[in-house]
Amino acid sequence: MPQIHAISESKLVLRYWNCAGRGMLMRYMAYDADLDFIDDLVDIDEDFLGGTWESTKKFLPELAGPFKALPVVQHHGATINETGACSQYVAEIAGYMPKIPLDRAKVIMISDHIYEDILINISYALWGFRDWDRDVIGGFAGPTSGLPLKFSNLEDILANSTSGFAVGSEVSMADFAIFYIVDILTQRMLEVESGPAAVELLFGSKPALAKHQKMMATRPNMSKYRSSAQWKLYGPYLSGKGVMGERTHELELGDTELEGIEILASKLVTCLT
Ligand SMILES: N[C@@H](CCC(=O)N[C@@H](CS)C(=O)NCC(=O)O)C(=O)O
């Protein structure tokens, strides 16, 4: 249930901005597992643009945690920061972390690859903090080690799986992480001119990934959540810029989210053609 900054002694609270960004992975798992939790939103317009985040909210440990940022997970009186820790904790209580240490390591390996090497580079490039060619399309080991390689890695993992799941024989956080990144990029790219061609080039010849997306999207609770009014509040926006729409220009925040996505899509078309 959405509530305004619920402070709860014992109930699970997931708190993030009203965009997908670093918050969507934990939300997907919590809704899929039907956890009893509060989906608490901090508002981009009211709090980020309105200034209450910077002046007050980020300095409230019960709201923004010890690291003064979001996402935050609260449970049993404790407050946790950092996307990886928040997501892993939700995965643990939802039953989406395996028990075997090597399988747990594989789940973290896949989730970290998606977070650090894909999601964060794209998000930072959208805000102008990283370079599309060097940090997103390219990579640390040169121009062929960026985005296309990361998605080939995910396709290979799924193609080699006998269960259809990324790790072992059950659904895990890794499956939700794969679903989220492929889904948000597909959705956003399909809204811009070069997007359909980029989606086809990036995902078109990846049958294992396509089958996996369908499997995850048709899980009953995923399907229900994704068609809910709650999901629509934040699910379509990759970053806070998405919520601002065209206003990024008058706010002197540069390109809109979709203008950034068009840069990404057109660069992908060039490098993959
Ligand atoms: N390393 C942290 C970074 C968290 C972070 O920078 N969160 C952003 C939102 S995506 C935030 O709350 N920014 C506001 C601020 O830093 O004041 C993580 O991965 O969770």
Q: Is the pLDDT assigned to residue 39 strictly greater than 50?
A: yes
**pLDDT tens digit sequence for 108-132:** 999 999 999 999 999 999 999 999 9
Residues in the chain: 273
12-94 CATH, one of 3.40.30.10, 1.20.120.330, 3.30.470.20, 3.30.310.50: 3.40.30.10
End-to-end CA distance of the chain: 45
The 10s digit of each residue's pLDDT in 150-194 is 999 999 999 999 999 999 999 999 999 999 999 999 999 999 999
According to DSSP, the β-strands at 37-42 and 72-75 are unpaired
**pLDDT score for 264:** 97
User: Where on the phi/psi map is residue 204: left (φ > 0), alpha (ψ -120 to 50), or beta?
Assistant: alpha
Q: Is 22 in the pocket of ligand 1 (CB under 6 A)?
A: yes
- Res 138: pLDDT: 85
CA distance 150 to 168: 21
Cα(72)–Cα(187) distance, rounded to whole angstroms?
A: 26
CATH 3.10.450.50 fits 101-272, yes or no: no
CA-to-CA distance for 25 and 222, rounded, in angstroms?
12
Please state, in angstroms and rounded to a whole number, the distance separating the CA atoms of residues 79 and 260: 33
Pocket-testing residue among 18, 22, 118, ligand 1, by greatest number of atoms within 8 A of Cβ: 22
Q: 8 versus 203: which is more confidently predicted?
A: 203
Instruction: Give the alpha-carbon dihedral of 100, 223, 112, 272, to 10 degrees.
Output: 130
Q: Number of helices (H) and strands (E), helices first, in the chain?
A: 14, 4
Tell me which residue of 87, 146, 153 sits closest to 264, measured CA to CA: 146
Distance from Cα 71 to the centre of ligand 1, integer Å: 7
Instruction: With cut-offs at 50, 70 and 90, classify the pLDDT of residue 106.
Output: very high
Q: What is the C-alpha separation between 132 and 49, in angstroms, rounded?
A: 25
Half-sphere exposure of 107 (CA within 13 A, CB side): 26
pLDDT of residue 51: 95
Whether 208 has a pLDDT exceeding 70, the answer reads yes
Q: Whose CA is nearest to atom 17 of ligand 1?
A: 69
| Other Cβ atoms within 10 Å of 246 Cβ, number | 10
Q: How far is the CA of 47 from the centre of ligand 1 (A)?
A: 14
Across the chain, mean pLDDT equals 94
What was the pLDDT predicted at 2? Answer: 44
pLDDT at 140: 72
Q: Structural domain boundaries of the chain?
A: 12-94, 101-272
Q: How many CA atoms lie within 13 A of 259 on its CB side?
A: 13
> Does residue 269 register a pLDDT over 50?
yes
Rounded to whole angstroms, how far apart are CA atoms 39 and 5? 9
pLDDT tens digit sequence for 40-88 = 999 999 999 999 999 999 999 999 999 999 999 999 999 999 999 999 9
Cα–Cα nearest to 176, from 264, 83, 262? 83
Confidence of residue 1 (pLDDT cuts 50, 70, 90): very low
DSSP run (H or E) holding 78: strand 78-81
Q: Are 202 and 272 in contact (CB under 8 A)?
A: yes
Q: What is the pLDDT of residue 6?
A: 59
Instruction: Answer yes or no: is pLDDT of 7 > 90.
Output: no
Q: How far, in Å, from the CA of 155 to the mean position of ligand 1?
A: 29
33 in Cβ contact with 27 (< 8 Å): no
Helix ranges (H only) for 95-206 are 101-112, 120-126, 147-159, 173-189, 195-203
The answer to whether 12-94 and 101-272 have equal CATH topology is no
Reported confidence tier of residue 142, pLDDT bands at 50, 70, 90 = low
Instruction: Tell me the C-alpha distance between 23 and 58, whole Å.
Output: 16
Find the 69 Cα to ligand 1 centroid distance in Å: 4
